[in-house]
Copies of this chain bind each other. A is one copy, B any other.
Amino acid sequence: MSKEPMAARRSAASRAAILEAAFHLVGEVGYGKLSIEAIAARAGVGKQTIYRWWPSKGAVLFEAVFVRSFGDTENPAPLPDTGDLEADLRTVLRATALELADPEVDRPLRALTVAMLEDEALAREYRTRVEEPTREAKRARLRSAQRAGQLPASLDLDAAVDAIFAPMAQRWLHRAGPLTEEYADALLEITLGGLRRSGPN
Stretch at the interface among A40-48, A75-83, A145-153: A145-153
Chain B hits for A32, CB < 8 A? 118
Determine the distance from Cα of A175 to Cα of B128 in the docked complex, in whole angstroms. Answer: 12
Which residues of B have CB within 8 Å of A127?
A: 174-176
Q: How large is the interface on A (under 10, 10 to 19, 20 to 34, 35 or more residues)?
A: 35 or more
Asked whether A196 lies within 8 Å of B151 as measured between CB atoms, the reply is yes
Shortest CB distance A129–B (Å): 13
B158, A162: Cβ atoms closer than 8 Å: no
CB-CB < 8 A to A162: which residues of B?
Answer: 167, 170-171, 176, 187
Q: Tell whether, in the assembled complex, residue B194 and residue A152 are in contact, meaning their CB atoms are under 8 Å apart.
A: no
A88 → chain B closest CB, angstroms:
13
Question: If A193-B196, A194-B194 touch, does A174 touch B31 (CB 8 Å cutoff)?
Answer: no
**Chain B residues positioned under 8 Å from A154 (CB to CB):** 198-201
Q: Which residues of B contact A171 (CB under 8 A)?
A: 162, 166
Please, which residues of chain B bring their CB within 8 A of the CB of A117?
31, 110, 113-114, 117, 173
| Complex-state Cα separation, A187 to B158, whole angstroms | 10
Chain A 158-200 interface 0/1 with B at a Cβ cutoff of 8 Å (1 = within): 1110111011011101111100000100110011111111111
Chain B residue nearest to A185 (CB atoms) is B159
Q: Is the CB of A118 within 8 A of B123?
A: no
Residue picked from A177, A199, A200, most chain B C-beta under 10 Å: A199
Say whether A156 faces chain B, with CB atoms less than 8 Å apart.
yes
A16 at the interface (CB under 8 A from B): no
CA distance A171 to B170 in the complex (A): 10
**A:82-118 near B, CB below 8 Å:** 110, 113-114, 116-118
A152 → chain B, closest Cβ, in Å?
4
Q: A154-B200, A173-B173 are in contact. List 11 more A-B contacts (CB 8 A).
A: A31-B117, A126-B174, A150-B196, A151-B196, A152-B199, A153-B199, A163-B163, A163-B195, A164-B195, A166-B167, A190-B191
